[in-house]
Structures are given as structure tokens and as C-alpha cells.
Structure 1
């Protein structure tokens, strides 16, 4: 008699993509086992309460989407608050609103009307004779030298770890510019953060599933693969194949938390540091995400670093070289029987959270229907 697998699905990773698939599979009556390499669930959206404040452990996560179905989906999992992301840029102590809007132009040039701002921006731009050769040329052609030097160069070079003149132009194909006094960073119709935090939302999504944390699927692949009919893999695709074709490039992050005995340290949830001298790219004051009234506050400094084994991969480096390598791995993945590859690391692409949810839902629908 043929052996019956203990689980229908083994999901590798408990971040947003894995949790969405697990949630849908369990609702369809499937037996699911979740394996999480870290010591806790939630992936990069995990938050934890520290001194009464929900801290976003792996950088700020603001859910935003224009898709009513995706918004309704997360709304069934968690009550969403009305947080609106209005970050500011700090350039050597000068504060500018983001994205570039009339408040930015007023601060830079004293522009009051949209017509004045448009005229000044046009005079600042450096038109290109042909395609931009690098990110610096692209940015200067779109918004001019002054904005590039104050609000783009430093942040971008810290983020990617190389000069803008060496970065591909496609990283900023366009730069959002608004001729209104609107500081909302996103244009999406819906925006907010789960009132109880993302970890609580993930816990609800994984209800009814077996969860094992501190487990490396790849270290005992044959054993764990034997437990389920199908595997949903959300980790690094190149690592899954033992880096056999070479390593894909990623950027990683390092975080430093500090508690301050004051109710409001920086007056905004996210402050970007756009000069080159400041070693971190941004600071996050977490209490503002939940409109906290605590007498103290916690601020996190975010430092970009080059990824190497042992660090968490955050951002794929989607230049032509890495994209060609990923396509070779994707071809291997397409021939891998009984394994579904899902999420930003398995698909080697940057996903906003709504896109991650939508992609995982689409995979679940195809698989479970």
C-alpha cells in the first residue's frame, strides 16, 4: 500500500506570502506544516511589543493598495488603522517633504503656485540626448541637479552601496512629482497598519496549521519533503538550488534601537537622511504607526549593508546581470516537481505587501481550485 503523506502542504517560511497561502490552504481543508528558519513567525513584517510600543523589527511596513479585493482580504484578518505615511527628508538639518510636492518646492525655491514650481523644475532639468547611461543622469534629467544632490544622491548611494554614476538608470525610471500641497507618500486608495500589529495578523492567518520555528528546511530537505504532497518555498531561489549557478545579489539591513525618555522624538514615523555623512538611511519612530501616547519613545536607525551569507536578504539587486542569472534559476524551478516557488525571495523581485498578498492568493487559487 502506498504511503500517505502526513501533510498536504509544507510551507517554507512564515512571512506574508507563506502565511497567505497557508491561510487559504487551511480554509480549503488542507493539512499544512509551516517551517520557519527564524525563531519566530512573521518574516520581515514581524513586529514586537517593546516597553508598550509595537516595534517593526525589520523596517517600517505600511500596507497600501488600490485593489479593493486585497484591502478587503487583509481587513478580514485585522482591523486596519488610518495611518497615512508622510515621511520627511533630512538633508544636513534641512527638512523637506516627500514625495516631491509643493511643500518641497516652497522650501527649496520659495515657489508658491504650481505654475511657479513647474517653471523652476523645467529650468533645473538637464535634457538627455539619448538614453540615460546611469541613475545620476536619469535623475538629473527628471528633477535637476539641486534636488538630486540634496534629496536623492546620498540616500540612494547608501541604500545600494555604490555611486549613482555606477547604478543602472532603470532604478528610477520615473520620480513622482506632485504640484499639490499633499504629503501622503502613496497614491493608493487604501492605506493603514493592523491595529494589533502584523504579528497578530500572521498568527490569525496560521491558525489551524502546525508551525515549527528554528527549522532550516534545506538542512534536512529529504526528510521534510517526505512529509507533504507539495512544498511551497518562499526562501532564496539560488539557495534552494545550492547556488549551483552562482549567487544572486541582495542588499541587507542592520537596525539599532534606542529608547528616549520623551513622548515625541522626531515628530514623524519615518525620517530619511539624504546626506552622505549620516551613516544610516532613515530613522523610524514606531509609536506614530499606532498613534501612541506613551511618555517615552523608541527610535530605530536603519543601516543598509551588502548582503553576505548569515545576513537576511531584503532587496534583490535587479540589474541585467542578476536578472539573467535569476531566469536560469527560474527555469530550474519550473522543472522542480512538487515544489511551488512564491514570494519576493523565491521570485527574486521586490514586492510591496499588497502585491505579495495578491500573488500568493493567485497561486493558492490556481493550486486549490
Structure 2
């Protein structure tokens, strides 16, 4: 009995949700679809370039609300595959035109419009069916209770039952009870089917997912190659640097041991040389460790590590950091060395007099922009440092964008999807 009452409450709640959601489907989706079509139709006239961002952003907000409800009510996860807007997007009329262009180039925009059409037709039918199976049985009970008398002269059809007497009214009630029991078991699957239908329209196609998998596979292989190359560099630096100095220092100490009684003055000179060699070996080891993972990055986080990096640059650098927490250690390391590479390139090749670094986190993205007032002309080409940075970021599904017109300035923007602790 308790299980039956629980099922009735669950089905009634599901029917109520479907009833409320049906208005969003038939009214909200229809209105947004019409506005979208009109706005896109006016794009050739120029008016649509101004109105399209507002309309499509409203469509995205409408779709995101449905994503939240799908996850909360039926456990259906619908991905959010929208491309992020660049940080340096201009404002005003020019910015609206750029935003329209970016929106129209995003495949997710056209999936949203396809979903609106699906939602106001098949999606709406599923919602109506969900709550109708729970509400329609009430009419059969009301007919059996006496409403059949209104239809004594002309039969009233309840489903496939013609109601014109008490007996047929009872038959209508029996049919209503049967429909009610169907509704008890079908309400949740029907609402879930509505959300699954939304997912089929909003989620990226298999072809896009396949391309994404290929890209991630490629960046994984590049990451493995980069790691192997880094290990070889560390081995070479140890062999040619600190190891050679330590060997020389050991030989000096052996000579000192032999001379300490015979020629104390010469032994003292060799001790000074050994002390200098040990200091140099220690400095090289510290540099090597800093190149693997800077201590300030592990202890203080990305913001302070970038500030410390900027202080070591020969060119004045201004750093702005807005981070509410810390990203994962691999992400912080990748971001730090990417910034280091960009700053080093600016110092070596751009002839910059000043540099600016902005680090912040928004909308699930770690965004870093490095700007310099140098000569410009930077490009992402095979063999360049920027190409290496792009591969490094690609390991984390990150992206690199470069704006570097001839004569400057140069802006390098990096984005890595991540969450902060």
C-alpha cells in the first residue's frame, strides 16, 4: 500500500512538471524559433546582425534551462558544447557584428534551432501525453458520478466508450482507471523520453565527437613525445652540467687529500676551487629543478608563480591575476610554462618595451592573455615556440589564439577548461 501511494505521488509530481514544462515548449520554444528565423532573415539587410546576438543568447539560455531540468528531473545529461567568445571581443556595434558572426559559425547554434523545432512539436506531444494520462481518468470518474445524464439524448464519447447511461458511465470509469494505471507506470519514462529527445537534438553529432577523439588522441601522443624529449633534456643537462662539476670537485678533493700535508697553500687554493664548483653545481641543480616544476608554483600557485616569472624578465611586465582558487597541478604547470615561453619569445624576438599578463578564470575556463608592444608578426607555425605551446595546451583540450599584426602589438590568448579548487 505504501509503495502504491509513493508511486502515485511520484507520477503526480512528474505530471505536474510535464504540465508546467509544456508551456515552455509550446510558447517559449515557438516564440524563440520565430524570432530566430526573423532575425536571421534580416541579416542580409544588416538589422539581423544587431538583433541576432540577443535572440540567440536567449535561445541558449532557454536550452541551458532545459539541460538543467533534464539532469535534475530525469538524470539525462546534455552536454554544453558552445564555443567560448574571445576575451578581446570589441564592444558597441562592431562587437555586436563580431558576436553575430561567431554565433553563426558555431555548430551548436544550429543544433539549438533544430531543438526548438523539435521541442515545440514532438517534445510538446510527449509532455502533453505525460500529464494527460494522469488527468484524463478524472473525466471518466466524473461521468460515472452523474455527468452522463447531460448526454442522455446524444452519446458522448469517452475514449472508445459512448456514454449515455449509468452503465456506460461505469464503463467510462473503468476505462479511466485503466488509463490511470498506465499513467502511473508511463509518466516517468515519457518525461525522460522528452529529455532524451532534447539530447538527441542538442548534443554534438557522432562525427564531431569522432573528430574530438582524434584530436585528443593526437595531443596525447604529442604529450608523450614531449615528456620523452623533456626527460632526455634533463639527462643531458645533468650529464653536461652538475654531474661534470661534481666529478671535477671529487678529483680536486682527492688532490687536496694528497697535498694537505705537503703543500698546504696549494691545498687551500684547491679547496676554494672545490667550494666554487659546489656552489655552481648547486645553482645548476636549482635551475634544473625550477625548469621541471618551480617551487613557487607548487607552494604559492599559478598567480604568484607568474608574478615571480615576470620579475625575472628584463622587460618591465605588469601582471593581473583574478583566481578564486587553484587549478590542478598539471594544468598549472602547463599554463606556467606556456606563459614563460610566450614572455621569452617576446623578449627575444619582438623587441618589446613592455609586456602585460592577465590571468583569470570564468565560465569553467582558465584564460590567460599575454600582450607586448613589440614589432608583431608572430604566427603559429611548425617548429615555432607558439606551435609547441599549442601542443602543450592541446593535451588539456586547451586552445591558443594569436593576434599579431605587423608593427604590433601582439596578443597571445590561451584557454584551458578546468575547475578551481
Q: Bin the TM-score by the shorter chain.
A: under 0.3
Comparing both chains, which one has the higher relative contact order based on Cα–Cα distances under 8 Å and sequence gaps of 6 or more? 1
TM-score by length of 1: 0.28
TM-score by length of 2: 0.25
